[in-house]
Structure 1
Amino acid sequence: MPASQTSPPSPTTHLISVVLPCYNEEAVLARTHDRIARALHPVEGVRYEVIYVDDGSTDATWNLIRTFTRESPMVRAVRFSRNFGHQAACLGGLREARGDAVVVIDADLQDPPEIIPEMVARWRRGWHVVSARRTARHGETAFKNLSAFAFYRLLGRISDHPVAFDTGDFRLLDREVVDLLTGLADRELFLRGAVGWAGFPETTIEYQRDPRAAGESKYTLPKMLALSRSAFLTSGSVLPLRLPLWTGTASLAASLVTVLTRRGRAGALPLALFGLESLAVAALGEYLHAVLRQVQGRPAYVISERMRSTIPGAVLASVEEVA
């Protein structure tokens, strides 16, 4: 990245918010909290707040978070009424954050919180987005590694805006970027795609992703497919909309070739055309489904409880919808 994006550090004390989406992380959350606390060591001109977002956990995750809020004045937390998904939890954390910059990091310790101070240092030099790029993914299956590699390359190929390869949601966002993202009307925000669409100055920090410290991955195959669908539908590409045109052209060409050459089994062509037409209709159906969810106007999540730490400690509980 060009050095021209940097600027002198400001003498003003900045607040950095660290957002941790959580879903059934009781096995690892105490270790996560300890590493976060040790990683966010005091730096001149910087102070931190930590925001836990419980995405409808069914284990002891919320009880642990309640303990953290009572023990540390810099911890706040919100609890969703049910599991709304990782992207909704990230969005909820961004909306809760008060910082001049916000770091989003998963709670499973695959992403090292120790590089957060370096992210903050680069932000103070003038970068609006500091992304963590994975150079290796330890402890993950060959299928997961291959599918992730292919996902980012394919998304980058069809997208109408830049896509950062091999980066998840572990990144720092300037307040200007956060305000833009939280103000979007998207009901299903694909965070990393929206960051690329916004086009703010971005730099990356490379790291090797660790295996999960405990527990199981919450990104099951159905959730990975759902995230991929959301990514491709919101990538800004017109490719899916052009599939019916290409399918029709290919079908007509195939029919013409069959007529001219008089080759092929009798039932092969109708079956092939039926398959192509089905794929085209499926692509249109996905877009119509996405439009339906958008115009329904439902919130991305519902908060059932909110907690913040005071001296000696207080709990604020509410039930509210967040658009």
Structure 2
Amino acid sequence: MRSLNETPADPALASAKPSPWRKGDARPLLSLVVPFYNEADVVEVFFGQVIPELERIADIRFEVLCVNDGSADATLDKLVAIAQQDPRVRVVDLTRNFGKEAALSAAIDEARGDLIVPFDADLQDPPSVIAALVEKWREGYDVVLARRRNRDADSALKKLTARWFYRMHNAVADLQIPENVGDFRLFTREVGEALKRLPECRRFMKGLFAWVGFRTAVVEYARAPRAAGESKFSGWKLWNFAVEGFTSFSTLPLRVWTYVGVAVAFFALCRAAWLVLRTLLYGVDVPGYASLATAILLLGGIQLIGIGVLGEYVGRIYLESKKRPVYLIRRRYEQRAANA
């Protein structure tokens, strides 16, 4: 069995590490970067489908960079076993579960390729589409998006909420996110370096991909069901993900409360003028307390909602001010250069 080079955590960027491929090979290197979290059931199926598809792409070298995002099952052991057999597979093990956005950031930082393709381990995105992305890149594009032609593999509720998210986000944010486009895409090393320059630790990668810009094309495809296992995104996690997207690229949720306050104040002035006029015309009566209690509860609820929205942004400022790293690496696994 070939030995692995187990490298302890190193803050240096991946670009500073030597490439395991022979020098003088002019073919571009494609880095397929894949976060894994408790995906032990799908590891063998994943490599059984992905490696042959990558080998079919002409005039391209490739590496598969796997980021183990603190898996609690046998995911890491299986990834390391495959890396022992194939020098084109590298494994980066994070110290704990940092979340998909952080794991994807780690994968982009560690990638050595001239082309970088983020990919999901569940194989809902067909590996055969990668060749189409490469062909589109050959036409001169810096970014090639993979857009889902349909979401038949998703439940009716997930399709509905996804449609709402994209439409609401693009309505309130200055930055437009392409609808039905996930993390699956191809981009050049230049785009990857631009992403590395973005300093925020709370990262909404769909928005960051759109923010950097560059010349972009689109390839459409049909999404498949998961190859194995279950989705790690619960309804609550998806809700928090959506909130992250809104607060990362729009201040409209803050500004809207100015307009709500103006509308409530205007209504209060109109109500006060009506009470004065009614008192002058009809005298003073003794009203009940139901309307008063309703008004107090309504205004109190509006104020609490406004404070909650403000709290979301203050919380982001608080976390960003700590300047903690997005992720920490425990160990890297790859074959020694002599075995490559």
Same-fold call, TM > 0.5?
yes
Q: Is 1:19 the counterpart of 2:45 in the alignment?
A: no
Q: Is 1:145 the counterpart of 2:171 in the alignment?
A: no
Q: Percent identity?
A: 37
What is the CA–CA distance in structure 1 between the aligned matches of 2:74 and 2:132, rounded to whole Å? Answer: 32
**Which piece of structure 1 moves more, 105-114 or 244-253?**
244-253
What is the CA–CA distance in structure 2 between the aligned matches of 1:109 and 1:312, rounded to whole Å? Answer: 32
Aligned to 2:150, the other structure's residue is in SS state: strand
Bigger Cα Rg:
2
Tell me the CA shift for residue 115 of structure 1.
0.6
User: Match for 2:299 among 262, 266, 273?
Assistant: 273
Residue matched to 2:204: 190
Q: Is 1:158 the counterpart of 2:172 in the alignment?
A: yes
User: Match for 1:287 among 285, 299, 313?
Assistant: 313
User: Match for 1:48 among 58, 62, 67?
Assistant: 62
User: Match for 2:263 among 239, 250, 267?
Assistant: 250
TM-score (norm 2): 0.85
Tell me the CA shift for residue 257 of structure 1.
4.0
**Which piece of structure 1 moves more, 19-28 or 261-270?**
261-270
Residue matched to 2:130: 116
Encode CA deviations 1:24-51: one digit per residue, 9 max, x unaligned: 0011111011111011024443110100
What is the CA–CA distance in structure 1 between the aligned matches of 2:298 and 2:157, rounded to whole Å? Answer: 29
What is the CA–CA distance in structure 2 between the aligned matches of 1:261 and 1:113, rounded to whole Å? Answer: 68
Tell me the CA shift for residue 67 of structure 1.
1.1
What is the CA–CA distance in structure 2 between the aligned matches of 1:276 and 1:181, rounded to whole Å? Answer: 38
TM-score (norm 1): 0.89
What is the CA–CA distance in structure 2 between the aligned matches of 1:229 and 1:201, rounded to whole Å? Answer: 28
Q: Is 1:309 the counterpart of 2:322 in the alignment?
A: no
Aligned to 1:82, the other structure's residue is in SS state: coil
Is the CA contact 1:193–1:231 (under 8 Å) kept in the aligned structure 2? yes
Q: Is 1:67 the counterpart of 2:81 in the alignment?
A: yes
Encode CA deviations 1:175-224: one digit per residue, 9 max, x unaligned: 11100101211112211101111121111111121111211101112221
Residue matched to 2:140: 126
Residue matched to 1:296: 322
Give the alignment's Cα RMSD to 1 decimal.
Answer: 1.9
Tell me the CA shift for residue 311 of structure 1.
6.8
Question: After superposition, where does 1:168-187 map in structure 2 within 5 Å?
Answer: 168-187=182-201
User: Match for 1:102 among 116, 119, 122?
Assistant: 116
What is the CA–CA distance in structure 1 between the aligned matches of 2:219 and 2:84, rounded to whole Å? Answer: 33
What is the CA–CA distance in structure 2 between the aligned matches of 1:308 and 1:71, rounded to whole Å? Answer: 10
Residue matched to 1:259: 272
- Identify unmatched segments of 5+ residues in structure 2: 1-24, 276-286
For 1:274, give the aligned amino acid: G
Question: After superposition, where does 1:75-94 map in structure 2 within 5 Å?
Answer: 75-94=89-108
For 2:37, give the aligned amino acid: Y
User: Match for 2:225 among 201, 204, 211?
Assistant: 211
What is the CA–CA distance in structure 2 between the aligned matches of 1:200 and 1:216, rounded to whole Å? Answer: 35
Residue matched to 1:232: 246
Residue matched to 1:317: none
Compared CA separation, residues 258 and 313, structure 1 to 2 (3 A): farther
